[in-house]
Amino acid sequence: MKLSSKSKEYNIPEYSLTGDLLSFLTCNLQYRYQNKGSLPPSRPLQLWFGEFIHGVMEEAYTEWKLKKTQFPWDWLRDIRSIEEKIDQRMQARGLYPPNPKYFTPYKTVGENEHGENPLKRIISTRIEKSINLWGKHLFPLMDSSEVLIKGLRKMPLKDKINRRSDFYCVNGVIDVISSLKINSPISKKNLIVEYLKKENFYKREYLNSDEEYEIIIDYKGMKRPQHDPKTLEHQSTWNYHEWQILTYSWLRCKQTNLKPIISGIIFYLNELLPSNEDLLVIKGDIENGKTDVKISKEDRELINDWNGNEKNFPNLSDSFKLDRSIRIIEINKKKVDKALKEFDNVVNNIEKSTVNESKGSSIKGSWKADGDKRTCDACDFRNFCNKHSDDHPQFLKIP
Which positions lie near ligand SF4, rule CB under 6 A? 27, 29-30, 369, 371, 375-376, 379, 381-382, 385, 387-388
DSSP H helices, the chain, are: 23-26, 28-31, 45-67, 80-92, 122-129, 136-138, 191-198, 237-253, 276-287, 297-305, 318-325, 333-358, 363-366, 373-377, 386-391
- Min CB(398)–ligand SF4 separation in Å: 12
Q: How far is the CB of 32 from ligand SF4 (least distance, A)?
A: 8
Q: Which is nearer to ligand SF4, 182 or 378 (CB)?
A: 378
Q: State the residue number with the nearest CB to ligand SF4.
A: 371
Judged by beta carbon, residue 30 or residue 104, the one nearer ligand SF4 is: 30
In the complex, minimum distance from the CB of residue 42 to ligand SF4, in angstroms, rounded to a whole number: 13
Q: Are strands 212-220 and 167-181 parallel, antiparallel or unpaired?
A: antiparallel
Distance CA 388, CA 382 (A): 6
* 181: helix, strand or coil: strand
CA 245/CA 137 separation, integer angstroms: 20
Amino acid letter, residue 196:
L
Distance of closest approach, residue 25 Cβ to ligand SF4, in angstroms = 12
Cα angle 303, 329, 170; round to 5: 120
- For ligand SF4, give the closer residue by CB, 311 or 373: 373
Nearer to ligand SF4, 241 or 382 (CB): 382
CA dihedral (158, 161, 166, 170) positive or negative: negative
Query: Which lies closer to ligand SF4 via its Cβ, residue 129 or residue 382?
Result: 382
Which of 69/375 has CB closer to ligand SF4? 375
Comparison of 31 and 168: residue with beta carbon closer to ligand SF4: 31
Tell me which residue of 354, 233, 244 sits closest to 21, measured CA to CA. 244
Q: What are phi and psi of 321, to 5 degrees?
A: -70, -45
Compute the least distance from the CB of residue 122 to ligand SF4, in Å. Answer: 25
To ligand SF4, the closest distance from the beta carbon of 45 in angstroms equals 15
In the complex, least distance from residue 350 CB atom to ligand SF4, rounded to whole angstroms: 15
- The rounded distance, in Å, linking the Cα atoms of 106 and 260 is 42
Among candidates 114, 46, 123, 110, which has minimal Cα distance to 83? 123
